[in-house]
């Protein structure tokens, strides 16, 4: 092989290696569009609760048939609905890649709060009472990254690694599907190789609260390989051929 031919071959090889080494976005969440119902997800309902997270399609809630917007992606979403109060969670566990340069979590959320406000005590207990026996008002929705060892309804600081969304006094009672995209690079880098949990939670004990979820994604970009090592190896190989 002449030097000119080697150069051409090397350039072509570098281009191929660069294409192969370019970081590819890894989608970690399964069935984030809920097009196969709630497959890949786990639901939990606090003892005594009515209703649940359910697969929703069309423009009506799964149980009561309240008017809601159609799912923003595909034909299905996940949505809470009930005939009475309760606390409900929807979650999926995922393994954090060992090497991440950037990561983000995205989702679209819908709210239909038929109470006159949100109430958000530091718990997801729909049946909690105060010292005099009165019910603690709890009407909220939230999204968290939590540990897999935590109770499904825990909001303790040691269990919640990052709160991604929570209703508050300024949150509109009724919304369309609003998209969210949140950088979680630092969190995933700090938990490389571990299993974490993405959780959607809703609690209501005042009046109906529908919490719709769709278009869930968790993208992690791995560390890119470098072409310089490959190029150096090719150069060494050519030098060896010349010496021979």
Measured distance CA(68)–CA(58) in Å, rounded: 8
Q: In what order do the strands lie in the sheet with 42-45?
A: 42-45, 86-95, 195-204, 139-147, 160-166
Q: How far is CA 14 from CA 70, 202, 221, 229, 241, in A?
A: 48, 52, 22, 10, 19
Strand partners, 219: 27, 104
Residue 189: closest CA among 149, 162, 229: 162
Residues 30-53: b if buried by 16+ CB within 10 A, e if exposed: ebbbbbeebeebebbbbeebebbb
Range with lowest mean pLDDT among 103-117, 134-148, 159-173, 217-231: 217-231
Residues 5-59 have pLDDT tens digits of 544 554 444 444 444 444 457 899 999 999 999 999 999 999 999 999 999 999 9
Residue 79: closest CA among 105, 104, 59, 106: 59
Residues 173-226 have pLDDT tens digits of 999 999 999 999 999 999 999 999 999 999 999 999 999 999 999 999 987 753
**Domain parsing of the chain, residue ranges:** 23-223
Residue 130: its pLDDT value, please? 86
What is this structure's pTM?
0.84
Fold of the 23-223 domain: Jelly Rolls (2.60.120)
- Enumerate the H helices of 183-226 as residue ranges: 185-190
Residues 77-104 have pLDDT tens digits of 999 999 999 999 999 999 999 999 999 9
- What SS3 state is found at 4? helix
Strand partners, 147: 196
Q: Does residue 196 contact residue 184 with C-beta atoms inside 8 Å?
A: no
């Amino acid at each position: 092989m002449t030097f000119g031919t080697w150069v051409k071959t090397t350039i072509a090889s570098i281009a191929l290696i660069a294409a192969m080494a370019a970081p590819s976005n890894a989608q970690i969440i399964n069935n984030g569009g809920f097009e196969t119902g709630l497959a890949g997800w786990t639901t939990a309902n606090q003892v005594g609760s009515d209703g649940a997270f359910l697969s929703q399609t069309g423009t009506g809630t799964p149980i009561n048939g309240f008017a809601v917007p159609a799912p923003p992606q595909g034909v299905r979403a996940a949505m809470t609905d009930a005939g009475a109060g309760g606390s409900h969670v929807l979650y999926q566990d995922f393994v954090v890649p060992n090497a991440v340069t950037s990561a983000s979590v995205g989702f679209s959320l819908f709210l239909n709060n038929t109470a006159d406000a949100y109430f958000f005590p530091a718990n997801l207990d729909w049946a909690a009472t105060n010292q005099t026996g009165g019910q603690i008002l709890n009407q909220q929705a939230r999204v968290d990254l939590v540990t897999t060892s935590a109770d499904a309804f825990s909001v303790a600081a040691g269990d919640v690694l990052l709160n991604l969304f929570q209703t508050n006094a300024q949150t509109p009672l009724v919304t369309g599907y609003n998209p969210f995209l949140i950088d979680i690079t630092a969190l995933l880098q700090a938990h490389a190789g571990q299993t974490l949990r993405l959780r959607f939670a809703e609690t209501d004990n005042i009046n109906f609260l529908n919490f719709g979820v769709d278009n869930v994604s968790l993208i992690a970009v791995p560390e890119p390989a470098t072409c310089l090592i490959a190029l150096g190896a090719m150069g060494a190989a050519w030098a060896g051929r010349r010496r021979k």
